[in-house]
Amino acid sequence: MLIPRKKYSIRINYSGILDEESRGFYKSDYQSVDGNREYVAVTHFQPTYARRAFPCIDQPDTKAVFSITLNHKKGYTALSNNELISKECIETLESCTSKFKDTPIMSTYLVAFIVGDLVNVEGKAVVDSKDREISVKVYTYPGNFEKAKRVLVYTIDSIQYYSENLKIPYSMSKLDSVILKSASNAMENWGLVVYEEVRLFDWDGFGSIIEKSKLSENICHEIAHQWLGNLVTTRDWENLWLNEGISNWIQYKCSQRLVADPDEKARYYSEGYQLFLKRDSLVKSLPIVHKVKNSVEAHSMLNIITYFKGAAVTNMLENFLGTDALIDGLTSYLKKHSYGNVDTDDLWESLNESSNLNLKEIFDTWVRSYGTPLVYVSETNDKRVLVLNQTQFPLKENADVGADTVWNIPLSISTSLKPEFKYQSMISRKESIIELPLAQPVDENCWYNVNTGLYSMARVKYSDKLFERLLRGVEIGSVDIVDRIAIILDNYEFMRFGVGKTSDILKIIQAFSREESMYVWKLLVDRIYELTDIFYGSNTVISRLLPKNLALPISNLSRKLEKIKDRNDYKYFAGMKPKIIKLLWLSLDQNILDKAKSDYEKFISNLLFDTKDFEIDSTILSIGVSEKKIEGFDAASRILLDDNISSKKKEMAKTSLGFMCDKDSIAATFRFALSDKLKNDDGMDILISLAGNFCSKGYIKDGVVANIEILKKIKNRGKLEKFLKVYIENFNYTHEAIGAVIFLENHGITIKDENFR
C-alpha cells in the first residue's frame, strides 16, 4: 500500500517508434549533397505529443526536471535542451552515449532531442550587464551553411534584445537552433529551437527589407518564447494566447530593432494584425480564452484567434498603456512567475500593479467574448458631439450563442479640423455621447476618426455622411496609412455581412484610386477580389457596376507596379498580379484581352512560347483560352494529352482549363477532368481550380450533380475533399452551401475536416 506524503520513485521500461509524421519523436528527411535521402531524428511535442516519446503527465502545469541521455551512431550530432556534459563512444560498436545537463524545471511539451548528421555555425550572445555570454549555435543539414549564418545573426541579436528589454537575462547557458528541410513549422523548445526551412526562407523579394523582416520576425517569435512560454508557461491550453499572442506582438518590436523597416506599421496592419478578422466575423468564432477539454481541442487552440487576435489584444494594451509601461508590466509578470505557470488573471494582476488600473475589469471581455464590438458613429447638430452605439460583431441575429456583450472600448478620436488633436476616451455603455473639447465646431468638409491608428480592436461604422467625409480625406491624402487600412478592413466585413451597403465598395475604390502605398493596394486588391467573387453573377446592380468602376484604378495600379519592377521587393508586391489581371479581364480591359488573344494564337500554333513569370503568363493565356470558349477547351485539352509537348506547356494548358467560363465549356471540362484520359491527379487539379474560379460558380453544381457517381469513386480522397471544400465555400448563400453538403451526404460523400464543417 502507498503511504501518503511519502516520495516514491517509479521506473518504467518502455520503447517507442520514430514517427513518419512530424509529431512525437519523428523522422525529418532531406536530400544529401550526393542526392541520397537522409534522415534526422527530431522531436515535436506541442501540445500533447511528448507522451508519444516517453511516459509522462503531459500537461503544461506538471513541470519536471529532465535528465536526458541519448545513445546514437558515432559521427552523428546529438542535441537536447541543455548542454552536453559527456560523450562516450565505443569504437567497436561505432556508437556513442551523449549525456546532457539536467534541464531547469519545465513543461513536457518543451522537451526536445535531435540526432543526425548536422553541421553548425556558432557565436556568442551577451545576456546581462556584466557581459555574461552564452553559446549560440545554428545547426543544419550539410550544405546549408549560408542560411544557418543568416539565422545565427538574428538569433544572437534577438536573445540580446529580449535579455535587455525584458530585463531578465536568457536563463540557460546555451541556445541551439536547428534548420531542417521538413519539420513541424517552428518550435520554441527551451534551448533547442527547431525551424522548418520554408517557414524562414520562403519569402519573395530575396534580400529586400521585407524578406529580412519576415525572417527576423519568425526568429524573434521563437526566441520570445524562451521567456514567454518557456520560463513562464500557461497553466493550460485555454490560456495559450499568453504565450502565442504576446510573442506574436513582441516579435515585431524585436524585429524592428533588428531590421528597422520604415514601412513596418503599414506591413503589420495590412498583414499580421488583420489575419484574425475574417475568422472572427464568423458566428462560430470562439473567444481567445475558452474551455479545452481534451488533446484534440488543445491542438485546435493553435489557431488564428490565439495567435493573431491575441496579438491584437496586446497591441491594444500597448496603445492604452504605452509601450514602456506594457513591457514593464510584462517584466514583473515574468519575474514573479519564473519557472511557474500562469493564467490570464496573473497577467492582469501584474499589469494592474505596474499601471495602477484594474485591467481585468477593463479588458477581460476582449479575451472572453467571441467577435469584436461594432461601433456606430453619428454626429449631432452640435458638430462637436458624437453619438456612439456599440453592438457585437458578428451581429447577434446571425449568431446562435450568448447574450450581446458590452465592451469597454478605449478610443482615440481625431479630426481633420486640427491635425494635432487626439482625444482619448473610453466608452462602456451601449450608447455613449462624446463631447469633443474643440474650440470651434467641425465643419462639413472635415472628418472624424474615432479609432485613430487602430487604437482599439473595435470596428467602426460611420453614418453615411461621416463616411463620405472620411473617404474624401482619403482622396486628398489627409488620412494616415493605418487609418486607411482600417477603412478597408472594417468595410470589407460590413459588406460581407450586410452591415454596410454593397455600393460602399465603389466609393472606396474611387477614394483610394490615387493611393500610393503598395501595402494598402495589396490589401485592397485582395478584398476587392473576394467581393468580386462573392457578387459575380449575383444579378445585382453591384455585380454590373463593380467591373466598370475597377477598370481605371486597377489599370493604373498595374502601371504603378511596372514602375517598381527593378526594386528588390518587387516580387513581393507582384504576388497580387494574377488577381489584378483577372480583375482587368472582368472589367473588359482591352489591353489584357488583346494580349490574351495573341498569346492564345501563339500557344496553339506551336510558336515559341516563352514564359518569364509562369503564374502571370499562364493567367493571361488562360484568359485567351477561356475567351475562345469550346474552341479554347478543345485546343487546351488536346495539348494536355499530347505526349510530344513540353511539360511546362502542358501545365499551362491544365491551368487554363480552370478558367473556363461558359456553360458548355465548363460541362466539357468537367467530363474531361473525370475521364480516364488524364494521368495522375491532373483531373482533380483542374476541377479544384475550376471550382475556385468566380465565373464557374453557377455551373459547378450542375457538374457535381451530373457526375456524382464518378465523383464517388475518386481514389484520391484528399484531392476530392479539397475540390468539394472549394466548391462549397463558393456558394453565395449559406442555405445553398448546406443544400450542397446534404446532397453529397445523401450520396455517401462526407467532408471529414471538422473545422470546415
What are the strands, taking DSSP E only, across 351-442?
372-379, 385-393, 409-415, 423-427, 431-435
State the maximum Cα–Cα separation within the chain, in Å, rounded to a whole number: 93
State yes or no: 735 annotated in a binding site: no
- Residues near Zn ion (CB under 5 A): 244
d(CA 590, CA 398): 42
Least distance in Å: CB of 248 to Zn ion?
Answer: 7
Least distance in Å: CB of 44 to Zn ion?
Answer: 13
Closer residue to Zn ion, CB minimum distance, 238 or 244: 244
Closer residue to Zn ion, CB minimum distance, 308 or 462: 308
Closer residue to Zn ion, CB minimum distance, 40 or 223: 223
| Kind of pairing between the strands at 133-140 and 174-180 | parallel
Closer residue to Zn ion, CB minimum distance, 250 or 367: 250
Closer residue to Zn ion, CB minimum distance, 187 or 489: 187
The dihedrals phi and psi of 48, each to the nearest 5 degrees, come to: -135, 45
Closer residue to Zn ion, CB minimum distance, 244 or 483: 244
Instruction: Determine contact, residues 238/290, Cβ cutoff 8 Å.
Output: yes
Closer residue to Zn ion, CB minimum distance, 196 or 244: 244
Instruction: Determine contact, residues 520/481, Cβ cutoff 8 Å.
Output: yes
Closer residue to Zn ion, CB minimum distance, 42 or 481: 42
* CA quadruple 453, 459, 461, 466: dihedral, nearest 10: -10
Closer residue to Zn ion, CB minimum distance, 211 or 244: 244
Bridge partner residues of 426 (DSSP): 410
Report whether the peptide linkage leading into residue 373 is cis, meaning its omega lies within 30 degrees of zero. Answer: no
Least distance in Å: CB of 136 to Zn ion?
Answer: 19
Least distance in Å: CB of 188 to Zn ion?
Answer: 6
d(CA 111, CA 191): 9
**Does the active-site annotation cover 222?**
yes
State yes or no: 747 annotated in a binding site: no
Least distance in Å: CB of 315 to Zn ion?
Answer: 16
List C-alpha distances in Å: 575 to 82, 167, 449.
42, 40, 31
d(CA 490, CA 192): 40
Instruction: Determine contact, residues 308/275, Cβ cutoff 8 Å.
Output: yes
Closer residue to Zn ion, CB minimum distance, 244 or 569: 244
Q: Which residues contact 673 (CB under 8 A, 6 or more apart)?
A: 657, 682, 683, 684, 686, 687, 690
Least distance in Å: CB of 243 to Zn ion?
Answer: 6
Other beta carbons within 10 angstroms of residue 348's beta carbon come to 21
Least distance in Å: CB of 339 to Zn ion?
Answer: 19
Least distance in Å: CB of 114 to Zn ion?
Answer: 19
Amino acid at 631: E
Least distance in Å: CB of 307 to Zn ion?
Answer: 7
Instruction: Determine contact, residues 587/550, Cβ cutoff 8 Å.
Output: yes
Q: Where are the alpha helices (DSSP H) in 564-589?
A: 570-574, 577-586
d(CA 156, CA 159): 5
Active-site pick, 188, 197, 222, 493 = 222
d(CA 461, CA 452): 13
State yes or no: 146 annotated in a binding site: no
Report whether the peptide linkage leading into residue 104 is cis, meaning its omega lies within 30 degrees of zero. Answer: no
d(CA 147, CA 179): 9
List C-alpha distances in Å: 163 to 248, 269, 339, 636, 672.
17, 27, 16, 60, 61
Least distance in Å: CB of 273 to Zn ion?
Answer: 16
Least distance in Å: CB of 78 to Zn ion?
Answer: 25
d(CA 650, CA 645): 7
SS3 assignment, position 122: strand
Least distance in Å: CB of 221 to Zn ion?
Answer: 6
The alpha carbon of residue 36 and the mean position of all alpha carbons in its chain are separated, in whole angstroms, by: 34
Assign residue 588 a region (left: φ > 0; alpha: ψ between -120 and 50; beta: otherwise).
left
Closer residue to Zn ion, CB minimum distance, 222 or 589: 222
User: Which single residue is written with the C-alpha cell 485555454?
Assistant: 238
Closer residue to Zn ion, CB minimum distance, 243 or 341: 243
At 14, list the grid cell.
518502455
DSSP letter for each residue of 2-65: PPTT-------------BSSSSEEEEEEEE-TTS-EEEEEEEE-TTTTGGGTS-----TTS-B-
Instruction: Determine contact, residues 624/632, Cβ cutoff 8 Å.
Output: yes
The alpha carbon of residue 728 and the mean position of all alpha carbons in its chain are separated, in whole angstroms, by: 22
Q: Where are the alpha helices (DSSP H) in 225-373?
A: 241-259, 264-267, 277-280, 295-300, 304, 310-321, 323-336, 344-355, 359-368
| Kind of pairing between the strands at 84-90 and 24-31 | unpaired
d(CA 667, CA 664): 5
Instruction: Determine contact, residues 331/305, Cβ cutoff 8 Å.
Output: no
Q: List binding-site positions for Zn(2+).
A: 221, 225, 244
Known catalytic residues? 222
Q: List binding-site positions.
A: 221, 225, 244
